[in-house]
């Protein structure tokens, strides 16, 4: 069906240019008056529901606010006045009386007693009177009105007893000073005795060094073979060399790791082989002989024969110097 174009518009569109919603103007005013200004229509009151009450109507009135403010100010002034009076009364009070103070007596040591023995008495028989010392808990109160002091208790009768003689101090035992460590002195003639085999001495026999039991009853040859003159080290300072007494110019040396007695020569090898450095062992009671050119080797005993072996000083032959025989 064809609808004419004029039928699509409402009659108000030609007379009013305002807000349109889908081409339709809502009736904002009663009667649909298009010439009056647009205002929202008043909503009618609902029947059956009371109108809300205004609780602050009386407060908004200026006549009721002023008396309340005056009342609040009066209460504040009353509180301030009460606080000021309390402060004045508290300041006017006097301090409470303080209780009497007590002091403890100081411990003063009594003067020393001088004892004079009577005739016929020894100092240990003089009787001495011993009185009990005042208790540390006794108190001396300061003189204060209203406080009475209790009377002191009478001292107990003195007891007499004899003083015992002072104990004599026991003499303290003096420990003997430790013996100095053994050593060899250059220029002296000594014998070298084994510490582990007492009575056995180092000697040369058939130009070899060995250990034999030698004493004052031994033969002259054996005793002479065991005597050596201590010389300064032929190749090193601080070490020693041993020269035979009955074969002057012959020294103990190691050759092929054996201790032998050889005549001195001008070679450096001989001087090094004949030089030994002493090492103190066994807390200074013995000496070990270390080779100068083999620092890790010491003189040891292989049966009765002497040689050098790579070992520590503690495992070496322990000797100590003895007077020559």
Read off the pLDDT of residues 250-300 as tens digits, 9 standing for 90 and up.
Answer: 999 999 999 999 999 989 999 999 999 999 999 999 999 999 999 999 999
Of 210, 203, 200, 183, nearest to 246 (Cα)? Answer: 203
Average pLDDT value for residue range 144-156:
48
pLDDT tens by residue, 225-258: 999 999 999 999 999 999 999 999 999 999 999 9
pLDDT confidence of residue 145: 44
Identify the pLDDT of residue 115: 56
Return the half-sphere exposure (C-beta side, CA atoms, 13 A cut-off) of residue 206. Answer: 4
Contact 72, 79 (CB under 8 A): no
Helix (H, G, I), strand (E, B) or coil at 307: strand
67 DSSP 8-state letter? H
Which residues make Cβ contacts (< 8 Å) with residue 261, sequence separation at least 6? 204, 207, 208, 209, 244, 247, 250, 251, 252, 253
Q: What is the pLDDT of residues 60-80, one digit of tens each?
A: 555 566 777 888 888 899 988
Give the distance from CA 53 to its chain's centroid: 85
Higher pLDDT among residues 298 and 43, named by residue: 298
pLDDT in tens, 5-25: 544 545 554 555 555 555 555
* Residues of the chain above pLDDT 70, percent: 54
Residues in the chain: 325
């Amino acid at each position: 069906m064809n609808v004419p174009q004029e039928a699509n518009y409402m009659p108000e569109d030609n007379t009013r240019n305002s807000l349109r919603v889908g081409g339709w103007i809502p009736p904002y005013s009663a009667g649909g008056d298009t010439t009056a200004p647009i205002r929202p229509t008043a909503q009618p009151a609902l029947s059956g529901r009371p109108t809300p009450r205004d609780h602050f109507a009386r407060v908004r009135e200026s006549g009721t606010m002023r008396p309340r403010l005056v009342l609040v100010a009066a209460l504040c002034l009353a509180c301030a006045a009460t606080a000021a009076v309390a402060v004045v009364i508290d300041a006017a009070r006097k301090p409470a009386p303080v209780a009497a103070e007590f002091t403890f007596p100081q411990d003063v040591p009594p003067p020393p007693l001088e004892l004079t023995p009577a005739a016929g008495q020894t100092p240990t028989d003089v009787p001495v009177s011993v009185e009990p010392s005042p208790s540390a808990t006794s108190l001396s109160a300061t003189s204060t009105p209203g406080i009475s002091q209790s009377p002191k208790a009478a001292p107990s009768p003195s007891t007499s007893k004899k003083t015992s003689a002072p104990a004599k101090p026991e003499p303290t035992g003096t420990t003997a000073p430790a013996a100095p460590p053994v050593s060899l002195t250059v220029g002296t003639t000594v014998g070298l005795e084994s510490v582990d085999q007492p009575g056995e001495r180092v000697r040369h026999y058939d130009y070899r060094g060995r250990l034999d039991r030698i004493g004052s009853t031994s033969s002259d040859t054996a005793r002479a073979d065991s005597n050596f003159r201590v010389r300064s080290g032929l190749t090193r300072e601080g070490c020693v060399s041993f020269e035979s007494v009955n074969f002057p110019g012959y020294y103990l040396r190691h050759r092929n790791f054996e201790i032998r007695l050889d005549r001195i020569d001008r070679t450096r090898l001989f001087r090094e082989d004949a030089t030994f450095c002493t090492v103190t062992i066994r807390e200074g009671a013995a000496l070990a002989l270390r080779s100068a050119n083999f620092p890790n080797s010491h003189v040891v005993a292989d049966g009765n024969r002497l040689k050098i072996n790579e070992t520590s000083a503690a495992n070496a032959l322990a000797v100590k110097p003895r007077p020559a025989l």
